[in-house]
Chain A
Amino acid sequence: MEKIRVDKVSKNFGSKEALKEVSLEIEEGKIYGLLGRNGAGKSTLLRIISDRMAADSGQISYEVNGELKKLMSGDLYFSEPKNLLPESMNVKDFCKYTQYFYPRMNTEETLELLAQFRIGLKEKAKNLSTGNYSILRAIVALHSGAKFIFLDEPTLGHDAINRELFYDEVLRVYDEEKTTILLSTHLIDEVSHLLEDVIFIRDGHILLNNSVEHLLNSYAYLTGPKETLASIEKQYKVLQKKEQLGFLSLLVERESQSTSLPANVEVESLGLQDLFIALNQNK
């Protein structure tokens, strides 16, 4: 079992606290979603884990079967929207250059796939459209041969067809290479069915960190007449309260699904997107 452990990592930019004592673990063999609004601290966290930025305090460690190891550069690939390589480089060189740092990378396959996405190998990075540039970096990342692949806003500017192709590729690599893939995004509906585990981040804090299945089982909407809900409201931790057409709808955290409810109260499950919105609206 390999895992990356983040332990009480904090980071300030001037007076802005970007990360506040963030702790979490990223285990091998899962597809993670790092979900948060713009400016929540997603990119800062990933930059610190991948050693592109230093934390003010806290630690990042890498464990293999309980033993501390050094994370080598070929082990982790972090792809972020910001350019890493010189803009004058063409697509083919971009791939070759990447292979220096990621010896397990399959350059031939990468180039073939890029052609499928209709990206010219001789084109310069700076001349690619936003969509094609993000395909380039996503494809290179997925074929880097790294054990941990972090993709920051991987579908930025993708059209519908490329988005499909991209998610196909994520699942293929995950399945065949047993890679750990972390997708950092604010487009939750798009990725929710791909994910096994989710990390919700808000204002530099980790709000929730659990399996999608557990999270979706732990929350539900209760809808019914106001008086009825008022009488049972106190039994729950309420995340969101909405009045709609004379009915009250509560998003609640519930320990078990079997607790009996008044007959006129309806229980409805929710999606990750609903939970995300509720968590971000909460004080």
Chain B
Amino acid sequence: MKLDTQNPKPIYVQIQEGLEDAILAGNYSEESQIPSTTELSRLFQINPATAGKGVNALVDDGICYKKRGIGIFVKKGAVNMLKKKRQAAFKGDFLLPLLKEADRLDISPEELISWIKEVHHGEN
């Protein structure tokens, strides 16, 4: 997990997304504990309130839950929830920019689809 201080994206959002990525990748498995606000704040040298906001966003989204006095844990089913959430954002985050650039370069959607198939085959 890395923070990009030049990125205009708010730091707490970067914390939230970084933790989400780690959960999706299985680095924090379901029912395991994620780093505390203090650990995140020290590691990235950010205000604890900022780190806390990122962690709380995961709790608010139902991805994680609080165990009183112990810490924050990944909920059962979190990976699936995150996949759904990211799938819903996929169009706006990846597809639209891709199509915009393709359009600028006169690459037709049909051509794009054939490229995707080509690359996908090549990788498998």
Residues in chain B near residue A268, CB distance under 8 A: 8
Question: Does the CB pair A167–B45 fall under 8 Å?
Answer: yes
Q: Which partner residue on chain B sits nearest A270 by CB separation?
A: B8
Question: Does the CB pair B42–A194 fall under 8 Å?
Answer: no
B5 CB within 8 Å of chain A: yes
A-B residue pair count with CB separations less than 8 angstroms: 39
Q: How many residues of B contact A (CB 8 A)?
A: 15
Residues in chain A near residue B38, CB distance under 8 A: 175
Residues in chain A near residue B41, CB distance under 8 A: 171, 175
A193 CB within 8 Å of chain B: yes
A219 to B5: give the CA distance in the assembly, Å.
18
Question: Does the CB pair B42–A168 fall under 8 Å?
Answer: yes
B48 CB within 8 Å of chain A: yes
Question: Does the CB pair A194–B10 fall under 8 Å?
Answer: no
Question: Does the CB pair B8–A171 fall under 8 Å?
Answer: no
Query: Which DSSP category, helix, strand, loop or mixed, fits chain A's interface?
Result: helix
Question: Does the CB pair A193–B8 fall under 8 Å?
Answer: no
Q: B41 → chain A, closest Cβ, in Å?
A: 6
Question: Does the CB pair A174–B8 fall under 8 Å?
Answer: no
Q: Which partner residue on chain A sits nearest B9 by CB separation?
A: A269
Question: Does the CB pair B45–A168 fall under 8 Å?
Answer: yes
Q: B13 → chain A, closest Cβ, in Å?
A: 11
Chain A contacts with B in 241-275, Cβ cutoff 8 A = 268-271
> A268-B8, A270-B8 given as contacts; is B49 within 8 A of A193 (CB)?
no
Mask, A167-181, CB within 8 Å of B = 1, is 110011011000000
A198 to B97: give the CA distance in the assembly, Å.
36
> A168-B42, A171-B42 given as contacts; is B8 within 8 A of A194 (CB)?
no
Question: Does the CB pair A195–B47 fall under 8 Å?
Answer: yes
B11 CB within 8 Å of chain A: yes
Question: Does the CB pair B47–A172 fall under 8 Å?
Answer: no
A121 CB within 8 Å of chain B: no
A168 to B11: give the CA distance in the assembly, Å.
18
Residues in chain B near residue A172, CB distance under 8 A: 42
Q: A149 → chain B, closest Cβ, in Å?
A: 16
Q: B16 → chain A, closest Cβ, in Å?
A: 14
Q: Which partner residue on chain B sits nearest A220 by CB separation?
A: B8
Residues in chain B near residue A156, CB distance under 8 A: none
Q: Which partner residue on chain A sits nearest B53 by CB separation?
A: A213
> A268-B8, A269-B8, A270-B8 given as contacts; is B46 within 8 A of A175 (CB)?
no
Mask, B42-74, CB within 8 Å of A = 1, is 101111111000000000000000000000000
Q: Which partner residue on chain B sits nearest A221 by CB separation?
A: B8
Question: Does the CB pair B49–A194 fall under 8 Å?
Answer: no
Nearest 7 A-B pairs (CB), nearest first?
A269-B8, A193-B46, A167-B45, A196-B47, A196-B49, A171-B42, A175-B38
